[in-house]
Structure 1
């Protein structure tokens, strides 16, 4: 069981507004040192640092809460999965019409000596997964409980960084298994957030690829992109990368394991090679080695 040992910590992220100027926190900030405007400034609060970035020359800023220092930049930060070593939180201006829901990228785990960002978490059925397209796009839930980080965030991060996917699963009997995909990409909204994975290893089985979910577009009950004449998202009451319809839907309704085949549940068919309702699931992404 040592291979399943995981550790987590939570980073505090937020969105702020100063006199009509809206900023948002990004996952990690990769700042171009040549775009630094002036010198590091001493400020008491995050809001004061943001206020300094109101001028048109400032595109982004970073704030160190422990040192109470602020840095302004003339260019925008690049989202990254790398952990910063400088103690700064990174923010940038919200451009008109821009999707900026990086604030959900907050919970981190260590698994197999790698650091992972949680993008989906199910464990108590406290939130409904039967949601519309924009909710799956933007994310919902809370990092302290069940949540979905958002398809647009997945797309932005996996587009800018070579990324791996880790799926952790636990049965009602307490058996834990995992599926690791060394390559993980989510396409753009124009491409319906298609999922592409490769390089499987693990103990839970390669359910995404062997059962037809790989390379599928995402579907919700108001945006049906599966391969059936019906809406899988309506039938299974959840958004997912459906084919026809579901063999490994970890967004499915939460149900107890009664010993019977049950597809209308959190399932990963290759976990036991039949439809066994699972108790917990977690999807995570990390920089590819």
Structure 2
């Protein structure tokens, strides 16, 4: 566009400012073209225009622009090649150092830390098969904002990871990823294995984040679990666990939970090491069907936070409701919240 404007400007300047006589020699001699014109009375006219000066301007301008573009292209190619060489050399050095026995991070390459006696990618990066690459936020703990809300995360922080939406609760210097929420019974939790695996509900409302997502999140570092319970009188209790993880689907999303603290009573110890069950993949005791939920059942529970939302505290909800036996026995709770956080 700039070139066209420049050419147009030259043409206009030459047409209106062309001297009546020009000294010329060779290709500098005037080259005259005849142009048919029409006046406003539609009378035929003819104009002779000398284009030799236009040609000189155009030739000089085009040569200048070509030289400029070539210099820029060459410079960019050289810089790109040098950067690629630096990255390749750094990657080879990291690959050579990766997994080397160490006692301190100073013994490892700059981008590596000494973790569990081996040179490894530091917490903010991951090994992409060639080098340590910058991690994306893998959960709420990696989000820079201090405001509660919905965020996109990439479990394990890899670009190749399937991104998911999560609800984050920013509590002081701790940033929690919500994996379960029950508040009003608007979402049915009596679901199939596939539905519990994929997750269901809106993350800012009643929902289950999904066993596959919980598994991928909990395998990235050491996690803690916090459970908030509210009864129909507005009383609030907490059960916190210093270690929490869920195994893969091949291991039936079995639960690992320990390190209880809080005031609600340890309702999860009974479920530690148990497999997850649903109405279409129930255990031998038929707990998922009889207790109307999806959970880490055995015979059958001490907690049943994915049970039926009864909306009442009367006997009709006994055994099937949102139960935390250590606190309220078979009383069906009003609100439950489960959230996890990476500690290290």
Name the residue aligned to 2:224: 164
CA distance in 1, matches of 2:197, 2:248: 10
- Structure 1 residue 223 corresponds to structure 2 residue 281: yes
Cα shift at 1:258: 2.4
- Structure 2 counterpart of 1:123: 183
| Displacement of 1:104 | 3.3
How many residues are treated as equivalent by the alignment?
Answer: 207
> Which residue in 2 is equivalent to 1:185?
245
RMSD over equivalenced CA pairs, Å: 2.9
**1:75 to 1:199, Cα distance in 2 relative to 1, 3 A:** same
What's the offset of the Cα at 1:195?
0.7
TM-score (normalizing by structure 2): 0.54
The SS at the match of 1:82 is helix
Shift of 1:82: 3.0
Look up the match of 1:214. Answer: 272
Q: 1:164 to 1:94 in 2, by over 3 A?
A: same
For the pair 1:265 / 2:265, whether they are aligned, the reply is no
Deviations 1:65-88 (A, max 9, x none): xxxxxxxx99695635532449x9
Which residue is equivalent to 2:36? none
* C-alpha contact 2:227 2:336 (8 A) present in aligned 1: yes
Q: CA deviation at 1:246?
A: 2.1
CA distance in 1, matches of 2:140, 2:240: 17
Work out whether residues 308 and 321 of structure 2, in 8 Å CA contact, stay in contact via their aligned partners in 1.
Answer: yes
Secondary structure at the residue paired with 2:326? helix
Is residue 2:341 matched to residue 1:286? yes
Unpaired runs of at least 5, structure 1:
1-33, 36-72
Residue 236, structure 1, aligned to residue 297, structure 2: no
State the alpha-carbon separation in 2 of the partners of residues 112 and 201 from structure 1. 19
**What are the superposed Cα offsets for residues 181-232 of structure 1, whole Å, 9 maximum, x if unpaired?**
01001011110001111111001110111xx2111000011122x3xx3321
Q: 1:266 to 1:84 in 2, by over 3 A?
A: closer
Q: CA contact under 8 A between 1:129 and 1:239: conserved in structure 2?
A: yes
- Where 1:284 maps in the other structure, the secondary structure is strand
Contact 2:141 2:174 in 1 (8 A): no
Counterpart contact for 2:140–2:168, Cα < 8 Å: no
Q: Is the 8 A contact 1:132 1:221 kept in 2?
A: yes
CA distance in 1, matches of 2:289, 2:315: 25
Aligned position for 1:103: 164
CA contact (8 A) 2:140 2:153 kept: no
1:82 maps to 2:141: yes
1:220-256: CA deviations, max 9, x gaps?
A: 11122x3xx3321111221100011122100010121
Q: Is the 8 A contact 1:109 1:117 kept in 2?
A: yes
Residue 110 of structure 1: how far off its partner (Å): 3.4
RCO greater where, 1 or 2, for CA within 8 Å and sep 6 or more?
A: 1
Q: Structure 2: how far apart are the matches of 1:268 and 1:148?
A: 18
Report runs of 4+ in structure 1 exceeding 4 Å deviation: 73-78, 88-95
Q: TM-score, normalised by structure 1?
A: 0.64
**Structure 2 unaligned regions, length at least 5:** 1-86, 89-130, 146-150
Greater fraction of residues in helix: 2
